[in-house]
Structures are given as structure tokens and as C-alpha cells.
Structure 1
């Protein structure tokens, strides 16, 4: 019996592999949804919370004056200095002594910072993109968790008490998360979200981007997305962001501290973290 030609066999095997590869590619393209591009690539207009002016580094006192004194811990726990390495020449370094928790609590020692940055150009927008870099030092202990800057909103006339904070957080083990704190009719509701497979890196600068999209007028639902170094790690569809339709984006809640209310949930050891100048963008 005549055996098949070796070249024919190889050709058929190759053709079969190409067919299988084509089928796999087709299945993959059908099953895998393309990732959403980082919001900084899609939002054209923006402004920066600068840490220097005309080449002169701002002091915490300078920053406090720009904020009208509406801050907690900025002068006591922060330093603005040149960054030895990283994506920007100047950074805000935040001191987090052992046992320190939220600067709004009565815990001692005190640590961390908290203030609102509300540029006029972002007022009343219904979508925004916050971008900055954070440096958690090598060996940074995550403890029970902590908070980083996130987008906030308020009612349009600023006369009421309605609003929200979509707070970027690290949870136990460094997991990336978001906590939405929504206030409506003087009632606070808290909605936590976390990504089990995404952890904040340590020992290097990390690019963070957060996008918040409010629902259409008379709707309370929206979208929150988070990217770490350009990779989409959290995409929360239809989270509750506002209790009333007249609530719009108002700025950034610039928070950096361990999120406990006492020493048991505070910093496990003396440490610090650094933030680049923050950028808020809108469409």
C-alpha cells in the first residue's frame, strides 16, 4: 500500500493548526470584551493641583493658604519636596506614624492629610477623570486598609447637605478598592467595592486613574472605573452615587491616611507615602 506523501501530511497538519488558531481567535474575540482606554486618554480638558509655582516649591503653609485653611493635617503631616525618582519633579510626602488613623478621628498620634480641592472649572460636570501617581515604599504595611484621593460631588447650589465621595482605597493585603459614601437628606450610605486580583504595588511609583460618570438627570446610578498603570482593574456599573439628580461633580477629596478610627486600625508601623500633583479632567 502506498503511503501518503510526507509533504502532504505536513501541509494538512499546518492547515489544521491554522484553522484551529482561527477558530480560537474568533472565539476569543467573541468572549473577551476589549478593555476601556484609561480616562486620561479620553478627557480633553483638565487642570492640575500644582505643588510648585514658577519653579518655586510650595510649602504646606502655601497650600493651606490656597485652600482657605480648610484642611486637616496638611501643615503637621506633609512635606513638599523634590522627588529623587519618579514621574514628576515634585511630590507631596505624607507622614503616617505608627498607630495613626484618620486625621478626623481622636486617635493619637496624628497622621495623614485630608482636604477638598474644588477647582471652578470642574463644577457641575457629570463626568470626570482623576489622575495621579502614588509611591508606597518597599515594605509598606497595608494593615486594615487606608484611603487615597478620589472624586467627590455636591448639590448644585451648595446649600444642601447632599453629595458623594468616591474614595479610592487600599484594603487588607493591598487590594485595590473604591468606597462610595453617599449623603442624601442627612443620611449617609456606604457602598464598598474591591478587586480581589489587583494589589497596589510597593517600592515604585504607580499611576492611578479614576473615572466617575454620573447617571442621566433624575437618575441615581452611574459608573466608577479605576486603572492601575494603565490596566483597568475595577469597573463598577450603576453604583449609587447621588441621592438627588441635582448633585454634580465638585472636585477631589484629597485624603491619604489609614482608615481606622483608632490605633487598632491605624498604621502598623512608622511609614509615609508620596503623591504626585493631582490632575482632574473633564469632557
Structure 2
């Protein structure tokens, strides 16, 4: 596998998977189109759209080839990614992304990630939710001021989940791996984000999170509890990006664009 493609699947073994990257041809990986039907898009946020577009060429010097001719989706939805047995517990989700040149960070914003939990409660771990936090989880990359990167997570409020390198925010989720990397590398050029979520065995604190940027592991955390019931599984991708925070001082001062491509997911267990 070419190095740029290996960044999309930075693990050696998996059961099955899907990809919207036309160059990624591997056994057990289904090629999918960037359509709502193929990707299982549902619960689309109101007043949003997700058209296919042709992004501009990269604007920074880079050894990576430009994907300027490849259409990129802008989903505000969640993508079904359950295993054949009906409940994934260990997955990798990845995509390529680029932020427009001159990007202004303001206070921060969220990027697409992974969600799960028990039934319809799995959709509930966003927007500052504090109730039933043991019944759902949500893991998304986030940029902060000056482009500092982290994983922004909604996890059960257990003592070990509060341990470093996690920081429990006063009102919302946990910031994991604060400033472990910087999203400056995505301004005007394509990068690949891949992140792995492994659920804990019920009754144990052995869950894991890991994030790769262009094939380099920048955050790796173990000893976590993401669920307290065997009914909780990884449901899919929470594919949404926005500035926030919830108050006006998080808002972008101008229209800004982010592009996403080559959405890929594999089930390890």
C-alpha cells in the first residue's frame, strides 16, 4: 500500500470496512459512493446541506499530490458503521481534510468523529449533555485557539476518565491530549486524520483512544471506560464540523470552508 493510502488505515488487521477513496483497493474493503444511500446517512441536522464539490488546489508547498479533482462531502450527519454481527466494539475511522488558506481559528471548533452507545441514547452525547453519560459516547477531533489540536470526547464521568492526559471541561466534555498537535498543517493542504476507538470490556477500564495525523500517532490513551453495558456499541460516524462552543464569541468572523474526502472505516472487532 502506498504511504499516503496507509494513512487511511493505520492498523495491520481488521474484519471488514468501507472506503470512498477510489485508489484504496483492499480485500474486505467495500468501495462506496459519496451518497446518502451508500453511507447510511441519517438524522441530518436541520438547515444544513452536504453537496459534493470540487475543492481548490492545495495552496501550500507540499510533497503530497493534490486531490483537487476529487469531490468532497460536507455531511452533517452520522454514518452507520456496525459490524456484521450487529455491534462493533473496536474501529478506525479516517478521512482527508483541508482548511482554506487564511483560516481563522477563533476559540475552536469540532470535526467529524465517532459516536455510539445504547440504542437511541447513542445519539445523545453532544451539546453539553450530562444525564445518562454512561449510555453514550462521542469522540471528535477539535481545534482550539491558534490551531491547537485535541480529541474532544463525551465519556462516562468516572475517575479514570478524568485522569491526565484528559481535562474535564467545566460545562461539557473531556479534552484529551490538549495541544498534542496543531492543525496548521491542514491550512491550504490535505492531511489525513485517522482515529481508533476501542470499547472497554464491561466492568473493566480497558478502553482505548488513538489519533493519527498523516500516519503519525499523536494521541494514545488507555485505561478508559466508554460503556457499562454490553448493549452499547460503536454506531458510526458523527460527520459534522462547526465553530463552537455555544456562545457568539466562538463564531467565525467570516465565511470559511473546510473540505473532506476519502472517508474510510474499518471494524477491528
Shift of the alpha carbon at 1:43?
3.9
- Residue 142 of structure 2 corresponds to 169
1:125 to 59, 84, 88: 88
Q: 1:152–1:253: 8 Å Cα contact kept in structure 2?
A: yes
Query: If the length of structure 1 is used for normalisation, what is the TM-score?
Result: 0.65
CA-to-partner distance for each residue in 1:70-124, whole Å, 9 max, x for gaps?
Answer: 2015x744431234543472112x5xxxxxxxxxxxxxxxxxx531111343741
Shift of the 251–43 alpha-carbon distance from structure 1 to 2, 3 Å rule, reads farther
- Residue 81 of structure 1 corresponds to 53
Q: 1:83–1:91: 8 Å Cα contact kept in structure 2?
A: yes
- Residue 104 of structure 1 corresponds to none
Shift of the 80–46 alpha-carbon distance from structure 1 to 2, 3 Å rule, reads same
In the alignment, is residue 256 of structure 1 matched against residue 218 of structure 2? no
- Residue 105 of structure 2 corresponds to 142
- Residue 191 of structure 2 corresponds to 206
Identify, as 1 or 2, the structure richer in strand: 1
- Residue 194 of structure 1 corresponds to 177
4+ residue stretches of structure 1 with deviation over 4 A?
A: 64-69
In the alignment, is residue 216 of structure 1 matched against residue 201 of structure 2? yes
Q: 2:48–2:76: 8 Å Cα contact kept in structure 1?
A: no
Shift of the 163–76 alpha-carbon distance from structure 1 to 2, 3 Å rule, reads closer
Q: 1:43–1:129: 8 Å Cα contact kept in structure 2?
A: no
CA-to-partner distance for each residue in 1:12-68, whole Å, 9 max, x for gaps?
Answer: xxxxxxxxxxxxxxxxxxxxxxxxx985332432113689xxxxx86xxx6389757
Report the Cα distance in structure 2 between the residues aligned to 1:136 and 1:179, rounded to whole angstroms: 19
Report the Cα distance in structure 2 between the residues aligned to 1:189 and 1:217, rounded to whole angstroms: 24
Question: SS at the partner of 1:173?
Answer: helix
Q: 1:131–1:280: 8 Å Cα contact kept in structure 2?
A: yes
Report the Cα distance in structure 2 between the residues aligned to 1:39 and 1:48, rounded to whole angstroms: 10
Identify, as 1 or 2, the structure richer in helix: 1
In the alignment, is residue 40 of structure 1 matched against residue 10 of structure 2? yes
Report the Cα distance in structure 2 between the residues aligned to 1:38 and 1:238, rounded to whole angstroms: 25
Report the Cα distance in structure 2 between the residues aligned to 1:254 and 1:50, rounded to whole angstroms: 17
- Residue 168 of structure 2 corresponds to none
Q: 2:111–2:141: 8 Å Cα contact kept in structure 1?
A: yes
Q: 2:41–2:77: 8 Å Cα contact kept in structure 1?
A: no
Shift of the alpha carbon at 1:153?
1.4
Query: If the length of structure 2 is used for normalisation, what is the TM-score?
Result: 0.68
Q: 1:133–1:205: 8 Å Cα contact kept in structure 2?
A: yes
Report the Cα distance in structure 2 between the residues aligned to 1:77 and 1:262, rounded to whole angstroms: 23
Q: CA RMSD in A?
A: 3.1
CA-to-partner distance for each residue in 1:230-262, whole Å, 9 max, x for gaps?
Answer: 111111222332243431211111111112213
